[in-house]
Amino acid sequence: MNAETRTAAKDFVGWLLVSALLFAGAAAFRLPLRNVAAVVVVFLSIRLVELLVAGFDLPRQLVRIYPGVLLALGGIYLAVTGESPALAAFCAFAAGWMLRGDLPPLWRDRGDSTS
């Protein structure tokens, strides 16, 4: 286990502890656990991707694009369920902004412009 994997594992365990504290706080204040669970799942999944990238020597680009992909999926979910169109639009905008530099361009300048 290299140093990067150990650091990613420690971060993941740390987020597990933070998640437990979030659930305990939400239960103590009688807040809806559904909202807390959504936030916890997102942050834990990001840390899990970091751990998988470090452990299996996957491309680091996965760590950079994963939050943008999560935002895009969240925006699609909100748009399909019709819960919050404004939040769905914001998620789509934020996902596009996060992914703009990490995804390959859909078109390339071939140098054959007519101007």
What does the pLDDT average to over 1-6? Answer: 86
What does the pLDDT average to over 102-110? Answer: 59
In tens, the pLDDT along 46-80 reads: 899 999 999 998 888 888 889 889 989 988 988 99
pLDDT band, very low/low/confident/very high, at 111 (cuts 50, 70, 90): low
Q: Which two tokens stand for residue 52?
A: 């998988």
What is the spatial distance between Cα 114 and Cα 67, in angstroms, rounded to a whole number? 39
Q: By C-alpha distance, which of 105, 76, 113 is closest to 91?
A: 76
Q: By C-alpha distance, which of 57, 55, 75, 68 is closest to 102?
A: 68
Residue 16's H or E segment, with its range, is helix 3-28
Of residues 113 and 15, more confidently modeled: 15
What does the pLDDT average to over 4-12? Answer: 90
pLDDT tops 80 at residue 89:
yes
Half-sphere exposure of residue 22: CA atoms within 13 angstroms, side-chain side: 18
Measure Cα distances from 52 to 14, 48, 79 in Å. Answer: 16, 6, 30
Contact 26, 36 (CB under 8 A): yes
Whole-model pTM: value is 0.71
